[in-house]
Structure 1
Amino acid sequence: MLDSTDFSILDELSKNSRITMKELGNKVHLTGQAAASRVAKLEDTGVIERYTIKTNQVKLGYYIHAFMNILIRTTQHDPYISFIKTQAKYLINNYKISGEGCYLLECKFTSNEELDKFLEALNRHANYKLSIVINKMLD
């Protein structure tokens, strides 16, 4: 069971996963060694699954951020799944969902032309409802 110190550690690591254990310990009122032990325990129990980086998609040339509610009218989802596996350079996330649709696809594109080409190919496997991100409100 996690306590408030564990949640504080997770909060600090989510802000900066490259923080030293000494700095982390100072922020959560532990020694560096105690903070490292807590982090190791969070890793061992699977609470911390991995460390990653966050990239600025616009600076990488991806100006269009889109969500697609994917609608598949048959029980055969394999053609869609096979197609999506070939489109990794556009994919951010692909969630299987309940409710209005079968999947929620989060994608990035460098241009409207690239998006249009993707949608034409996608439409051979599934219908979709498209939403374009205007601005991210929270970070």
Structure 2
Amino acid sequence: MIRFLWSIAVSLISSVLGLLIAAWLIPGVSLSVSGFIIAVIVFTIAQGILGPFVFNVARQYASAILGGIGLVTTLISLFIASIFPGGLRIDGVLAWVLAPLVVWIVTALGGWILGYFLIKRRFGDKAEKRRKG
């Protein structure tokens, strides 16, 4: 249970970083302070739910895009998060092309790096002690 909560924390932190960096780097992507938390939560939940669904659909009908599942999921999650008013806003074709790429890169790297430091080190050390024990 604790490991699951740490995984959620990693997802939320990497989503925060991804959305902030996209808003900072890409013209046409904006976040409002008042709706930022909702945008992050909606984006993170959409990522978690859509990931396995998009993977199964792609595996069944379009196996050539399996490598781009993360990008497709990020694009759909950004779209869903942008529907909620007052949080995330993406304007323009270039912003819609670049935002999923930037957010996907940041969340993937953030997930790996934060996952290693927060989850693997914390729980990996305990598992290693038990094995040696």
| TM-score above 0.5 | no
Q: TM-score range by the shorter chain?
A: under 0.3
Report which structure shows greater RCO (CA 8 Å, sep ≥6): 2
Point out the structure with the larger strand share.
1
Structure ranking higher in helix proportion:
2
**TM-score between both structures, scaled by the size of structure 1:** 0.27
Larger-Rg structure: 1
TM-score normalised by length of structure 2: 0.28
